[in-house]
Structure 1
Amino acid sequence: MAVNIIASSDLKINRTLSQGQLRQLKLDEANALYHAQSFSEERPPVFKSLAHEIIALLTLTCGPSLATMNQGAMLIALPHVGKSFGISGSELSWTISAFALSSGTFVLLLASIADNIGRKRMVVVAYVWYALWCLVSGFMKRDIEFDVFRGLQGLSGAAAAPAAVGIIGATYVPGKRKNRAMATFSAGAPIGFIVGIICGGICTQFISWRAFFFFSTILYSVLAILVWYSAPDDPHMHWSEMKENLSKLDYFGALLATSGLVMFVFALTQSGATSKGWAEPYVIALLIVGIVTFAIFMFWESKAKNPLMPLGIWFYPGFALSMFIVACGFMNFLGVLNYYMTLIFQEVRDASAILTTAYLVPQAVCGVLVNVFAALTLHVIPGRILMFIAMTAFTVSALLWALQPIHLIYWAMAFPSICLSVVGADLAYNVANMHTLSAVPPESQSSAAGIFNTVFQLSAAIGIAASTTIVHTAADRSSHTGVQQLYDSYQAAFWFAVGVSGVGTIASGFLKVGTQGRKAADTDEEKVEEATKTTIISSP
C-alpha cells in the first residue's frame, strides 16, 4: 500500500512514499519546524524594539484589567451606591451583575466581530466605548438608568479581552517568551483589581464614588490612543470586505444566547427579591423559558453555517472540562468571595471605604506574585497540577470565611482567605487561558477566548444571582436579628461557594493538561502532531 502525503508546512509535498520513508520524512520535518519555529525565543518581528513590545503588551493587558478594575471600585463603593440610590439586596447586586451579565452574553458575538474586522480595531473601539459610558454613568441619578449604563459598560469588557488575547496568541509562538507575555496579560486582572480598589476607595472616601467613572474615562481614552499606535496592525481589509464578513455573522444565534442567559440570570436574582421567592409565577416562567431558549441556541449552533460558538471547539482535548472547572472557581471568587467579604467589612465590621481598600490590597499583590510564578513554571509544572492547586485554594478560602466568627481579627482568617482566593483565581486563569490558546488554531483563537470569557463573566453573574437567593433565604431562617442575622446569611453564601469550588476541585483531578511552552515534546509522535499537522490520504 502506498500513500500520498499533503503537509501543512511551508514546504508542500505531494508524492508517493513507503511507510518507512514517510515516517522518517515526517519526523525530520517535525524536528526542523519544532526547533526553528515553534519555540523561538526571539522578539516577534512586528515589534521594532523591546520598548515597543512592552508598551503594546501593557496596553493590551488593560483589556482584562478593564473588568476587574471596574469591579474592584464598585465593590468598595457598593454600600455608598446603595445609600445614594436607596436600594439594597438583589437590587443592589444588579450594580455588579449588570456589567458581568452583558460581558458574558455578548462576548461570543463581539469576539466573532473582532475576528472579522480586526482585533486591534476592536480593542480601540472597546476602550473608547468604555470611556464614553463611564462618563455618562457618573451623572445618573436613578438606579435603573445606572444599571442600564453599567450593562453598556460591560460590552467593552466583552470586546476588549478576547480581541487582546487573540492579538497576543497570534503574535507569539509557543515558548517561554509567550508564557511570559501571557502571564503579563493574565496579571492584568489582579493589577486592574488593585487599581480599582485603591482608586475606588480614595474616590469614595474623599471625593465621591462617582469620581471613579470620570477617572476611567480619562484613563481609557489615553489607552485607546496608545493601542492604536503600538499594537500589531490588523491585516489590510477594505470596508466592503468588512461589511461582507459582518453580514455573515450569526446574529440570530447571538439573540438566542443573549435572551436565554438574561432571562435565566434575571430569574435567579429576582427569586431572592420577591416576597414569594420561587413561588412567584413569573420567576419560574422566566427560568424555564431561559433554559429552553439557550437549548435552542445550542441546537441552532450545530446547524448554523457560520456559528457564533463553533461546537467543535468544545471537543478539543481538555477544553470543555477546563471551562467547567473555571466556572466553578470563578462562581466562588467573583460571585461570592469578593462580593460578600466587602459587604462584611463595611456593613458588619463597620470599616470605612479606605480601610476596606487596605484589607483587599494583599489580594492583588498576591495575584501579581502568582502570575510571576506562573510565568516561570507553566513550562515545568503540568497544568493539571496547577489547576488542582488553584481549586483547592478556592475551596479553603471559602471555607475560612464560612467558619469565621463574626468579630475575629482580620489577620487570623480573613487575611489568609484573601491571599488563597487569588492563588486560585490567577493559577486557574493562566492554565485555562494558555490551554485555550494552545488547543485551537490561530484563526479561531478570538472565538475560543470569547468562550473562555463568556464562562468567566457568566459564572460571576450566576454566582451573584444564586448567592443572593441563598442569602435572602438564610436571613429569613436565621434565629438572630440585626448584624448577626446579616452575618449568618452571608456565611450561607460562603458555604455555597465551598460546595461549588469543591466540585471543581474533584473535577480537576480528571483534567489532562500538560506543561505549556516546553522546548521538547514528550515523544516523537507529539512532534509530528504539533508541528506538521499532516493529513495522510490512502491511495489504492
Structure 2
Amino acid sequence: MSVLDGTAVQNDNPALEPRMSKRQRAILILLLSSTFLLAADFSLLTVAIPVIGDGLGFAVGDLQWISTAFAITSAGFTLLFGRIADLYGRRRMFLAGLALLALSSLLGAAANEPLVLIIARVLQGVATAMATPAALALLTTSFPEGPLRAKALGVNGAMISAGFTVGAVAGGLLTDLLSWRWAFLINVPIAVAIIVLTPRLLPESRLAGRAKMDVPGAVTVSTGLIALVYGVSRAGEEGWGDALVLVLLAAAAVLLTVFYRIELRAESPLASVRILNKPSVLWGNFGGLIAITMQTAVIFLATLYLQKVNGLSAMDTGLAFSGLGIAAFVGGVVAPKVVGRFGNRLGLVIGLTLQVIGPIGLALTASADSSILLVLVLLTVASFGHLTAVVSYMITSTSGLPNEEQGLATGLATMTQQVGLAVGIPVMSAIATTRIHAMEATHSATDSVLSGLRLAFTLDAGVVVLGGLLILVFLRSRKA
C-alpha cells in the first residue's frame, strides 16, 4: 500500500507490506519519546498556572505570559530552526534543543520571581522550536515515503496528543502532590536520557553541498509570526479593538507579506516558492492549522464549561479528559490506514468531519444540567477525528518531496502546529468573553457563560466545516 498526493494504492498481499527493521523501531521509539516530551511540556504547566502565580507573586493580568511566552517563541522560530537544521545538521539541532530544554527546565524549577520564570518559558519555547522540526525531519528521512513513513507519522501524531493529555494530568498531580516546580524538573531526566541515546542510533543528517542562509526571510517570518501570536494572545485579554492589538496584527500582515516577496527572489529561500505553491504542502498545512487551532480551542472551552457551569474541579477535569488521550492515540494509529484506503485528501476531510461533532454537539446540548458523560462522548469522537486529521495533514504536507527538502517541509508542518496551538485559545476566548460581558447585565452568570460558550462552539464548528469543504474542492488527488 502506498500513498502519493492523495492517491491510494492498495496491495492485495499483506506479505508484501514492508516491515520496520530493529534499528528503525529503535529510532522510532527514541524520536517518539522526544515528541511525547516536547508535547507534554506545552501542557504540563497549564493547570499549575494559578498556583505558580500565587507562589511567585504574579499579577492576575500577567498570568497569561506563562503560556504566551512559550507559545510566541515556539511558533516564531520553528521555521527558522528547521532550516538551520537542514543546513548544519538535524541531529545536532535536535540535541541542542533537548539540552536547552533541560537547562531551561532547571531554571524554571529554581525561579523565585516572575521574570526568571518567564525567561525560562521563553527558553523552553526556543528549545521546542529547535528540537521539534529537527525530530520530525529525522523521522521522515529515516523511513522511506509510503506505508512505513505513514505508520511512523501516525504514531508520532498519536504521541503528540498523548503528550498534551498526559502533560495536563501529570501537571495537576505533580502540583497537588509535590510542587509546581516538579512540572519543570520532570523534563530533565527524560531529556538527558534521549541525549545520551541519540548519537548511538541516529546518524547526522543535513543537506548535501553548501547553501546560504536566507537571513532577510528568517528575520521577517520570525518577527511576523511573533507579532501575530502576541497580537492574538493580547486580543484574548484586551479585546480586538485594543490599539496595540491592531498595530501588532497589521505589522504581522506586512511582515509576512514581505517575507513572501523575499522568498520569490531569494537565491536560497527559507521557504521555496515551489514548495509553498505545491497543493499538498499548501492545503495539507491549511487543514492542519484548522484542525489544531479549532480543537485546541474546543478543549479550552470545554474545560471552562465543565468547571464554570458543571462545577468540576481542575483535577476532575484533567482526569475526565484522559479518555480523550486514549481516543486520540487510537486515531493516530488508525489514521495511516484511513489515508492508505481513501488517500490524503479524504483522510483529512474525514478527520475534520469527525472533529466537528464535538463543537456542534456542545453548541446544541450545553446547559447547566446536561450530562457530563454526553460531553465526554462528543469530545472523545472529536478527539479521534482530530488525530486522524493531524496525521493526514502531516502525511500530505511532507509527501512527494526529496530528502533535502524534508527539513523545510517538516519545519512548515511544525510551524503550523505551533501557530495553531498558540492562536486557537485566545481567538475563541475573546469571542466567548465578549458575548459573556454583553449578557452579564441582563442574565445570570451561568447563563452568560453558557451563551458565550455556545457562540464560540458554533463558530468553531463553522470554521472546521468550511475548512473541510475548501480542502475537498482544492486539494486535488493526482491520478495513479
Give the structure-1-normalised TM-score: 0.78
Q: In 2, distance between residues paired with 1:302 and 1:285? A: 26
Is 1:399 matched with 2:363?
no
Q: Deviations over 1:231-250 (max 9, x none)?
A: 2344799xxx9xx75xx212
Q: Is the 2:214–2:269 contact (alpha carbons within 8 Å) kept by the matching residues of 1?
A: yes
Aligned to 2:213: 249
Distance in 2 separating the partners of 1:251 and 1:469: 35
Aligned position for 1:369: 330
- How far the C-alpha of 1:483 sits from its partner, in A, is 4.7
C-alpha distance in 2 between matches for 1:69 and 1:455: 18
Task: Indicate the residue corresponding to 2:376 in structure 1.
Answer: 415
Partner SS state of residue 445, structure 1: helix
Listed one character per residue, the Cα deviations across residues 404-454 of structure 1 (whole Å, up to 9, x for unaligned) are 113423212x21232123223211121111122222211001101111111
Distance (whole Å) between structure 1 residues aligned to residue 236 and residue 140 of structure 2: 41
User: What does residue 11 of structure 2 align with?
Assistant: none
Within-5 A mapping of 1:517-532: 523=480
Partner deviation per Cα, 1:133-187 (whole Å, 9 max, x = no partner): 1221223344454334223212222222221222222222233333322222222
1:397 to partner: Cα distance: 0.9
Equivalent residues, number: 463
Aligned-partner residue type, residue 415 of structure 2: T
How many angstroms apart in 2 are the aligned matches of 1:174 and 1:365? Answer: 27
Change in 2 beyond 3 A, CA 1:278/1:235: closer
Give the equivalent residue in structure 1 for 2:230: 266
- Answering whether residue 350 of structure 2 is matched by residue 389 of structure 1, we say yes
1:312-391, aligned counterparts within 5 Å? 312-334=274-296, 336-391=297-352
Note the alpha carbon deviations across 1:497-538, whole angstroms, 9 max, x for none: 2222122122132254659xxxxxx65xxxxxxxxxxxxxxx
What are the superposed Cα offsets for residues 71-111 of structure 1, whole Å, 9 maximum, x if unpaired?
33233334444554666887444433332332221111101
Partner of 1:440: 401
Alignment partner for residue 118 of structure 2, among 101, 123, 147? 147
Determine if the alignment matches structure 1 residue 111 to structure 2 residue 82: yes
Contact 1:79 1:343 in 2 (8 A): no
Q: Name the counterpart of 1:41.
A: 18
TM-aligned CA distance change 1:278 to 1:341, over 3 Å: closer
Helix, strand or coil for the counterpart of 1:249? coil
1:174–1:306 Cα change, 3 Å: closer
CA RMSD, Structure 1 to Structure 2 (Å): 2.8
TM-superposed CA distance for 1:471, in Å, is 3.0
Does the CA-based 8 Å contact 2:362-2:457 persist in structure 1? yes
Cα displacement (A) at 1:367: 1.3
Amino acid in structure 1 at the alignment position of 2:174: C
CA distance in 1: counterparts of 2:465 and 2:408, whole angstroms = 29
Q: 1:500 aligns with which of 455, 463, 470?
A: 463
In the alignment, the residues of structure 1 paired with residue 26 and residue 369 of structure 2 have an alpha-carbon distance, to the nearest angstrom, of: 45
The offset of 1:494, in angstroms, is 2.4
* In 2, Cα distance between equivalents of 1:400 and 1:75: 25
Which residue number in structure 2 is paired with residue 284 of structure 1? 246
What amino acid sits opposite 1:158 in the alignment?
A
Contact preservation (8 Å) 1:348, 1:487: yes
1:40 deviation in Å?
Answer: 7.7
1:261 is aligned with what amino acid? L
Distance in 1 separating the partners of 2:180 and 2:314: 10
Matched residue type, 1:219: I
* Rg larger in structure: 1
- Unpaired segments ≥5 residues, structure 2: 1-15
Cα 1:89–1:290 change in 2 (3 A) is farther
CA distance in 1, matches of 2:433, 2:402: 45
Is 1:427 the equivalent of 2:391? no
Q: Residue in 1 aligned with 2:173?
A: 202
Residues 87 and 206, structure 2, Cα contact 8 Å, conserved in 1: no
Instruction: Name the residue aligned to 1:468.
Output: 429
Q: Distance in 1 between matches of 2:477 and 2:326?
A: 27
The question of whether the paired residues in 2 share the 8 Å contact of 1:93 and 1:464 is answered with no
Q: Secondary structure at the match of 1:209?
A: coil
1:127 and 1:224 in contact (8 A); partners too:
yes
Q: Write the deviation string for residues 354-393 of structure 1: whole angstroms up to 9, x where unpaired.
A: 3222211111111111122123343222222221111112
Q: TM-score, normalised by structure 2?
A: 0.87
SS of the counterpart of 2:321? helix
SS in 2 for 1:318: helix
Describe the superposition over 1:7-41 as per-residue Cα deviations: whole angstroms up to 9, x where unpaired: xxxxxxxxxxxxxxxxxxxxxxxxxxxxxxxx982
Task: Identify unmatched segments of 5+ residues in structure 1.
Answer: 1-38, 44-48, 516-521, 524-540
The answer to whether structure 1 residue 73 and structure 2 residue 44 are counterparts is yes
2:87 and 2:207 in contact (8 A); partners too? no
Instruction: Give the deviation of 1:220 after TM superposition.
Output: 1.3
Counterpart of 1:478? 439
CA distance in 1, matches of 2:335, 2:217: 36
Percent identity between the aligned chains?
Answer: 23
Instruction: State which drifts further: 92-101 or 109-118.
Output: 92-101
